[in-house]
Structure 1
């Protein structure tokens, strides 16, 4: 019986292509930066004149909801800068210590001296805006069935890799960390009931935050924005991980087909060092004239207690269910499902605040396997973790 695989069905190829296009066109990084409520609460406790020099913010996508634009912003008064201020780019006054920050990452709008027909210089609120509401295989199948399952696995792998690369590209470029803005920079406040309002940073008070969920800063308003340094790797929150490497399937008779295996995981880190993920590993290929596949699906706990510069080290442990089959050529005819237990070591190199390069060494054990297939199975993979 031939083990040659049938071509991947056209509808599966179209589904993979549709997913690719949807991911790659889902949005671009914009000039809006989100500030969480906890950071706003910290800022209102700072002296008004120094609030803008260190604000923790996260860059947003252009597809995210954007606030109403702030009104025109002008220097506080005409004439020479007051004590403690210097003339900045495009005629804006800046606190003296901002000179050390260099040129803003986002150029501010060009300042034009107002005439009698223009709006008067802003004092107090920048421009209050009230917005609207915003199955297990228990029987032996033919080699054609194994080939069809293998083709489906290939499609799943392709979609998973495309999604992972797209997420890694956006999160790798996305800025999260400290920004600096003028003390009078407009702050867009998002209220719990859907409204919006705008207030100057130096006039922000606890009363403004009573029903506020978050805030947004625009790099293209006020006197521009400085990016002062990205934050260290932050795993807290949801995570998507994917990778590829050497994997192995243990078969009766001492045969150990090795091939390229892929791993995908989705989960949540309640704290930066510890996370729980749903984990799957996919392997398919030809060996000794036959065909085989091996699929594992389970839960995994990851822990990173050791940090050395940008390198993070730790163990993981997990378990779940595995499905595998083999047939044809010199391979034994097998098909079945059984539980597995896995553990191993993790090494992650920090690339960006929400992106890490990972290396995994894994040991698998099938506790209910036959005596000649119950040995530990070792594998390794290299991949990316997006947080």
Structure 2
């Protein structure tokens, strides 16, 4: 346990907390480009990177740096104007922080059967769950420590832009025009290169990859017809193309003792579509629907091993912790093995 704690602490320090590089998304660049230059630094959306970005030599500014408004005369087109800004501008605190352009080429289951029976299946599942829990703690520690929200910057804070064509250019925040923002794929800013006032975190943002674990109770029917509650667990990995919905793969493990005090073990491997249409502050309500395969192994009672398709569905409630973490409750219904099963689980989702 001490080794695990040390590894997790190292992960957090090396990846999340020590990083001074922050990403500005393309949508935020486009919004800022349509804001008055002297007001652009008041409320900027920034996302802390996992590692330091190699974007060129530092070009720091200070609170006393004068705001310079560059003429918005488009003589050569957006690309030539960006090149002119980068090669002829000086705005840093030492008066010689000229930018640079670097052009780069190019554009852009297995657990379905346990030979040893239900008892061995349960043992293997516990080992898998333990490994998955360690991974969840590590991922949650990193993502929870990263700042994803808003910061106040100096209008002349250097912004390192990367274009959709792979080209790179650096210019002050106040100089970004709509054409340059449209060209850019994203931008990087360093908190060490100017005044930096960290403001509030952004609300929960699901867009991107998702990892989650849940535990609770579920109903399982024995081969002798008796139905009773037992342990229910789920591991999930998925992707949300938009904040409101995503596609998630699930591994379900459940077990209980049967009438002869032997193990009944249930496993399911499904793909589900999740959606969260209701948002009320930090509380969000949605549901899921999907399907896959289900496998059951039961010791001590003849006829207890079976496999079938599985149809799943249910409701979900999430409570935001921060931009990347959410406490999640699931109430589900499953149709498999010609029977109906229910489950109620609670856990943590990381985005």
With the length of structure 1 as denominator, give the TM-score of the two structures: 0.72
Write the mapping of 1:82-121 to structure 2, written as runs, cut at 5 A: 121=94
Do structure 1's residue 71 and structure 2's residue 59 form an aligned pair? yes
Q: 1:191 to 1:58 in 2, by over 3 A?
A: same
Give the C-alpha shift of residue 364 in structure 1: 1.5
2:265 to 293, 311, 335: 293
Give the C-alpha shift of residue 278 in structure 1: 1.4
Please give the alpha-carbon distance, in whole angstroms, between the structure 1 residues aligned to 2:322 and 2:342: 30
Please give the alpha-carbon distance, in whole angstroms, between the structure 2 residues aligned to 1:206 and 1:228: 25
Give the C-alpha shift of residue 348 in structure 1: 0.8
> Counterpart of 1:61 in 2: which secondary structure?
coil
> Counterpart of 2:156 in 1: which secondary structure?
coil
Aligned to 2:15: 28
Give the C-alpha shift of residue 359 in structure 1: 0.7
Do structure 1's residue 56 and structure 2's residue 45 form an aligned pair? yes
2:162 to 190, 205, 220: 190
Give the C-alpha shift of residue 65 in structure 1: 3.2
Which deviates the most, 292-301 or 21-30?
A: 21-30
Write the mapping of 1:286-365 to structure 2, written as runs, cut at 5 A: 286-287=257-258, 288-328=260-300, 331-365=301-335
Aligned to 2:77: none
Aligned to 1:385: 349
1:250 to 221, 225, 234: 221
Larger radius of gyration: 1
Identify unmatched segments of 5+ residues in structure 1. 1-16, 83-118
> Counterpart of 1:318 in 2: which secondary structure?
strand
Aligned to 1:87: none
1:172 to 139, 144, 149: 144
Identify unmatched segments of 5+ residues in structure 2. 68-91
Please give the alpha-carbon distance, in whole angstroms, between the structure 2 residues aligned to 1:213 and 1:23: 33
User: 1:345 touches 1:360 (CA, 8 Å); kept in 2?
Assistant: yes
Aligned to 1:100: none
Aligned to 2:76: none
Please give the alpha-carbon distance, in whole angstroms, between the structure 2 residues aligned to 1:70 and 1:260: 55
Give the C-alpha shift of residue 362 in structure 1: 1.1
Do structure 1's residue 230 and structure 2's residue 217 form an aligned pair? no
User: 2:215 touches 2:232 (CA, 8 Å); kept in 1?
Assistant: yes
Please give the alpha-carbon distance, in whole angstroms, between the structure 1 residues aligned to 2:10 and 2:134: 9
Aligned to 1:265: 236
Aligned to 1:239: 210
Please give the alpha-carbon distance, in whole angstroms, between the structure 2 residues aligned to 1:361 and 1:50: 47
User: 2:164 touches 2:185 (CA, 8 Å); kept in 1?
Assistant: yes
Q: 1:40 to 1:321 in 2, by over 3 A?
A: same
Q: 1:271 to 1:260 in 2, by over 3 A?
A: same
Write the mapping of 1:122-133 to structure 2, written as runs, cut at 5 A: 122=95, 126-131=97-102
Aligned to 2:184: 212
User: 1:261 touches 1:283 (CA, 8 Å); kept in 2?
Assistant: yes
User: 2:112 touches 2:267 (CA, 8 Å); kept in 1?
Assistant: no
Give the C-alpha shift of residue 131 in structure 1: 4.8
Aligned length: 316
Aligned to 1:47: 36
Aligned to 2:246: 275
Aligned to 1:95: none
Give the C-alpha shift of residue 271 in structure 1: 2.6
CA deviations over 1:177-213 (Å, ceiling 9, x no partner)? 2211011111112245555432111122345457532
Instruction: Please tell me the root mean square deviation across aligned C-alpha atoms, in Å.
Output: 3.2
User: 1:136 touches 1:336 (CA, 8 Å); kept in 2?
Assistant: no
Q: 1:165 to 1:323 in 2, by over 3 A?
A: same
> Counterpart of 1:159 in 2: which secondary structure?
helix
Please give the alpha-carbon distance, in whole angstroms, between the structure 1 residues aligned to 2:318 and 2:93: 54
